[in-house]
Amino acid sequence: MELSPLSVSMRRAGELSSAIAGAARAHVIGLGRFGGNLALIRWLVARAVPVTLWERQGAEDLGASWMSLGDLQHRIEVHWGCDEPKVEAGEPVFVTPGLPPHHPGLQRIDPVLVSTELEI
């Protein structure tokens, strides 16, 4: 039986919600120059999920994206200039779609935990 794209999306959303609910921390790899993961970070913080942001660029390179987080900035652990995220087993990882799946920094992370979905 073939599943519809909507069924697959709904199932994946349920899996991600379960992973987030049971996680001690969520990781976001790549804020993005245009703030592609801003909504995700806000969503996680609103649910009291500790967030670690791994960003290859520096804060000064991301300008408006980083500044738009305002008061949430102090609630996020940030690793600027990082190509090698360190993720504990079982912690969900959200990757900006601009990062290719073969990126060396993703090779040691369980692919089941990695998501490129920005809309939850």
pLDDT band at 94 (very low <50, low <70, confident <90, very high): confident
Q: Which residues pair with 26 in a beta bridge?
A: 51
The answer to whether the CB of 12 falls within 8 A of the CB of 19 is: no
Which of 23 and 55 is assigned the larger pLDDT? 55
Other Cβ atoms less than 10 A from the Cβ of 64: the count is 9
In this prediction the pTM is 0.76
Least Cα distance to 21 among 111, 110, 92 occurs for 92
- Cα Dmax for the chain: 50
